[in-house]
Each structure stands twice: as structure tokens, then as C-alpha cells.
Structure 1
Amino acid sequence: MKLLKQVYYFLIYTNLLIAGAAIAQSALTYLFFGAPFDYPIMMIEGTATLLLYNFSMLLSKPRNPQKSVYKRTRWIFKNEWLLWLNSGVGFIVLLYAAYHIHLYSLFFLIGIGMMSVAYSVPIIPYNGKWVGFRQLPGMKIFHIALVWTLSSVCLPVFEMHLDGVAVDLHLFQTLFVLKFIFLLICTLPFDIRDIQQDSYYHLKTIPNMIGANRAILLCYTLLVAHSSVVLLSAIQLKVQIGILTTNLLIGVVLKQVVFRNANRYHYAFLLDFALIAQFFIVYLFYKIQ
């Protein structure tokens, strides 16, 4: 159990967990369309996510990291060499994978990257000063969900189109909506957990604006809405079963673990594991004949 806990924290602190989630979510897109995995695209998803999250960490480095109240911050900058090491490896892999995709997909990827950077870099005028998207009232989770949907759905589909694969437009639209809602579900608990911290930094997130209890209710409502769209959509039955099974498990984890232990900072990261678990559960049902 101790080893499992250490691995859990290591994956969180090094951003390898969120990078794995990006790979899993892009791989899920290929299952939706019944298409073979495009490994260069999946490699790009993982490494680009790793680099962006590492960049965000470095950008927000406090003056005295070891005096931070957050264990994660203390660990990361105590082992900063590891942050630079996985960034270097990730950058090399990203360059290799980028060489194997279409040029237009590369331009599209750069556009997504610019949107991601705009999350924290002040490029938007608001109330007489320049801010990033995270500082705009209520925009934080929607910006994250949109960027992830563009990268894990639109980029793979765009590359499939450039490869000459016939893409079902209705299925693409359905997947876009499902992914956007699902990412809201997996992102909102983090803002509920950080409600006091965000208030301190004057960030007007959804939980700050409507209160923690209503935000929790919103999370369950989104889970029901997501399940309803799955049931009403024309996607393959085995994919439907896989997604609904994942939603059920997420509902249990939210109720029994995440929202019941809101003061446990790292419990919310189980939602990052949910992004990976969703792929493996769908894949398992997908392979069942």
C-alpha cells in the first residue's frame, strides 16, 4: 500500500498522470470511430500536455518553494531537475512525433498550444489590466474543457481527415459534446477543492460564484446529462456500456471519496485517473465480441 501511494504521488507531482490522461483521451477518439490508433498523434497529446503543465509549474514557481503550504509545490521544486529532465525527454519525443503528422495538423496543434498558454499568460484586457483566461469570471473550467476537447477530439479527427478517412460528422459532433461535458465533470471537483485558495487569489471560479454545495450538485447534474447523451446517441452499444460504466464509477468516487474528503488535497486527482480508466473500460468492452 505504501508503494502504491508513493507511485500515486510521483505520477501527480511529475505531471506524468495528466500526460497519460491526454494519451488515453485521444486514444478513446479512435475507438469511437472504429479507427486504428495513430501513435504519433497520441505521442503528441502526451508530450505536449506534459510540457504545458511543466511550463505552468515553472511559471508559478514561488519565491521560496520550500516554505509553501502545499506538499506538491515543495516536492516539485526540491526535485526540479526531474521536471527539466522529463520536459527535455518530452520535447524530443514531441519533435519526433510532429515529423510524422501532416503540416496542417501541426498548425492546428500550435493553435491549441497558444490557447493553452493563454490560460495563465496575461493576454486579455479585463477591468483595466491584462489577465489570462483563468482570471475571467467562471471561465476557468470551460477553457480547460475546450482546450482538451480540441486536442483529444478535433486534432485526431482532423489528422484522420487529412489521411483520407471518411469521418462521420454526426458522430464527431456527438463525441465533441460528450468529451466537453465529461471534462467539465472531471475539472469541476478541483475548483470545489480549491475554493478557498482561489478566493485568496481573487479567482472567480464557478464554485466561488455559486457556492460549494451548488457546485457539487452541478457536478452530479453534468454526470446525469452526460449519461443521457450517451444513451440517446447512435454510438456503438459496447462503447455506450463502457462509458456508462465509467460514469457510474465516477459517481461513486465523487460521493464516497472526493466530496466526502474535500480537505484531502490529492483525492481530487482521482479524476485524472478517471480520464485513463474511461479509455481502458471502453477498450475492454470494445474488445468483447
Structure 2
Amino acid sequence: MNILKKLYYFFIFSNILIALAAASQCILTYIILEQEVNWYIVLIEGTATLALYNFSLILSKPKYPEQSAFARTRWIFKNEWFLWINTFVAVSICLWSLLHIHLYSFFFLGVIGAISVLYSFPIILLNGKWGGLRQVPALKIFHIALVWVLSSVFLPYVELRSTHILVHMDILLYITFLKFIFLIICTLPFDIRDIKQDSYYHLRTLPSMLGEKKAKHLCYLLLLIHSLLILFVPYLLVFKIGLLITNVIIYCLLRLVVFKSNEHYHYAYLLDASLVLQFVIVSTIPWITAVTV
């Protein structure tokens, strides 16, 4: 049990879990669209996510990380050598993979990067001060979901179109809407957890505006809406069981673990793990069904 706990924290602290989540959601798009997986796109998705998260840590390194109140900060900079190696490997693989994609996909990555940068870049004037999109009340969670949808759904689509492979637009938009809601569900608990920290930095997130209790209720409501959309929209029939099983597991995690106590800061990262879990379950169910039939 102790080994599993150490592994869990290793994947969280090293940002490998969030990179696996990004890659998993990208592969899932190919599976649901019933297209062959482009592993260069998947590698770009995973390594770029890892590199960006690592760079954000490097740039925000506190003066005395060993005295930080957060175990994650203490672990990261105690093992800073691993952070740099991790980042170097991620950037190298990403650059190599970029050489194997079409020009349209390359430009689209630039669009995603620009949207990501705008989150912190001072482009808007609020209360007499210039700030990024992060200063717009309640925008944070929707911005994160948008960037993830663009990279995990539309980047594979752009690459497919570049090779003249057509995708049914109704299904693509349905996947987009489903994934956007799902990403908000998986992101909202982090903002609920960080209400005090975001208030300190004067960030008006959705949970800080609604209050903790209403934000938790919103999470459950979105999970219900997501499940109903899976049930009643006539697409993805073979994948519906896997998507619904994942939602049941997420409900249990929220109810029994993540929202049970505010004392365990890192329980929210189970929602990152659920992004990987959804891929595993959804990709496995059709195979199990085929074998049993």
C-alpha cells in the first residue's frame, strides 16, 4: 500500500499523470472517431503538456522551496534534477514529433499556444489594471476546458483532414460538447480546493463566486447532464457503457473521497487520473463485448 501511495504522489508531483491524461484523451478521440491513432499527435499532446506544466513550476520557483507549506513544491525542488531531465526529454520528443505532422496541424498548435498564453498575458484592462484572461471572473475553468478540447479533439481532427480523411461533423461536435462538460467536471474540484489561494491572488473563479457548497452541487449537476447526454443522443452506442461507468466512478470519488475532507490536498488529483481511467474503460468495453459475443 505504501508503494502505491509513493507511486501516486510520484506521478502527481512529476506532472507525468497530467501528461498521461492529455495523451489518453487524445487517443480516445481517435478511438471514438474510429480512426487509426496518429502517435506523433499523441506524443505532441503528452510531451507538450508535460513541458508546459514543468516550465510553469520552474518559473514560479519560490526563494526557499524547502520551507514551502506544500509537499508538492518541497518534493519537486528537492528532486529538481529530475524536473530538468523530465522537461528536456519532453521537449526533445515534442520537437521530433513536430517534424512528422502536417503544416495545418503545426499552425493549429500555434493557435492553441496563443490561446493558452492569453490566459496570463496582459491584454485586458480591469479595474484600472492590465491583466490576462485569468482576471475575467469565472473564466478560468472554461479557458482550461477550451484549450484541452482544442488540443485533444480538434488537433487530431485537423491532422485527419490534412490527410484527406473526413470525419462526420455531427459526431465531432457531439464529442466536443461531451468532452468540454467532462473537463469542467474534472477541473471544478481543483478550483473548489483552491478557493482560498485564488482569493489571495484576487482571482474570481466560479467556486469563489458561487461558494463551496453550490460549486459542489454544480459538479454533481454537470455529471448528471453529461450522463443524460450520453444516454439520449444517438451516437457512440458502442462506447456509452464505458462513458457511463466512468461517470459512476467519478461520482463515487467526489462523494466518498474528494469532497469528503478538505484536509487531503492531493485527493483532487484523482480527477486527473479519471481522464486516464475514462480512456482505459471506454477503449476496453468494445473489446470485452466483442469477445463475449
- Fold agreement, TM-score > 0.5: yes
Secondary structure (helix, strand or coil) at the match of 2:203 reads coil
Partner residue, 2:66: 66
What RMSD over aligned residues (CA atoms) do the two structures have, in Å?
A: 1.2
After TM superposition, the structure 1 = structure 2 runs for residues 145-224 of structure 1, keeping only pairs within 5 Å, are 145-224=145-224
After TM superposition, the structure 1 = structure 2 runs for residues 83-98 of structure 1, keeping only pairs within 5 Å, are 83-98=83-98
Secondary structure (helix, strand or coil) at the match of 2:125 reads strand
Q: Is the 8 A contact 1:54 1:83 kept in 2?
A: yes
Distance 1:101 1:177 in 2: 26
Partner residue, 2:111: 111
Partner residue, 1:255: 255
CA shift, 1:113, in A, is 1.6
Secondary structure (helix, strand or coil) at the match of 2:263 reads coil
What percentage of aligned pairs have identical amino acids? 53
CA shift, 1:187, in A, is 0.1
Q: Is the 8 A contact 1:101 1:159 kept in 2?
A: yes
| 1:177-221 deviation per Cα after TM superposition (whole angstroms, max 9, x unaligned) | 001000000000001111111112211111110100000000001
The one-letter code sitting in structure 1 at the alignment partner of 2:230 is: V
- Establish whether residue 55 from structure 1 lines up as the match of residue 40 from structure 2: no
Distance 1:15 1:101 in 2: 25
| 1:217-271 deviation per Cα after TM superposition (whole angstroms, max 9, x unaligned) | 0000100111111112222322111101100110011000000022210000000
Secondary structure (helix, strand or coil) at the match of 1:57 reads helix
Distance 1:129 1:58 in 2: 26
Stretches of structure 2 lacking an aligned partner (at least 5 in a row) = none
Partner residue, 2:16: 16
After TM superposition, the structure 1 = structure 2 runs for residues 132-151 of structure 1, keeping only pairs within 5 Å, are 132-151=132-151
The one-letter code sitting in structure 1 at the alignment partner of 2:133 is: F
The one-letter code sitting in structure 2 at the alignment partner of 1:109 is: L
| 1:83-137 deviation per Cα after TM superposition (whole angstroms, max 9, x unaligned) | 1111110111001111111011011012112222333343433222222322321
Distance 1:117 1:3 in 2: 37
Partner residue, 1:269: 269
Stretches of structure 1 lacking an aligned partner (at least 5 in a row) = none
CA shift, 1:158, in A, is 1.0
Distance 2:133 2:63 in 1: 24
The one-letter code sitting in structure 2 at the alignment partner of 1:11 is: F
TM-score, normalising length from structure 1? 0.97
Distance 1:129 1:280 in 2: 45
Distance 2:153 2:21 in 1: 13
Secondary structure (helix, strand or coil) at the match of 1:254 reads helix
CA shift, 1:75, in A, is 1.2
Secondary structure (helix, strand or coil) at the match of 1:155 reads helix
Partner residue, 1:45: 45
CA shift, 1:13, in A, is 0.8
The one-letter code sitting in structure 2 at the alignment partner of 1:105 is: S
Secondary structure (helix, strand or coil) at the match of 2:260 reads coil
TM-score, normalising length from structure 2? 0.96
Secondary structure (helix, strand or coil) at the match of 2:69 reads coil
Q: Is the 8 A contact 1:11 1:17 kept in 2?
A: yes
Secondary structure (helix, strand or coil) at the match of 2:130 reads strand
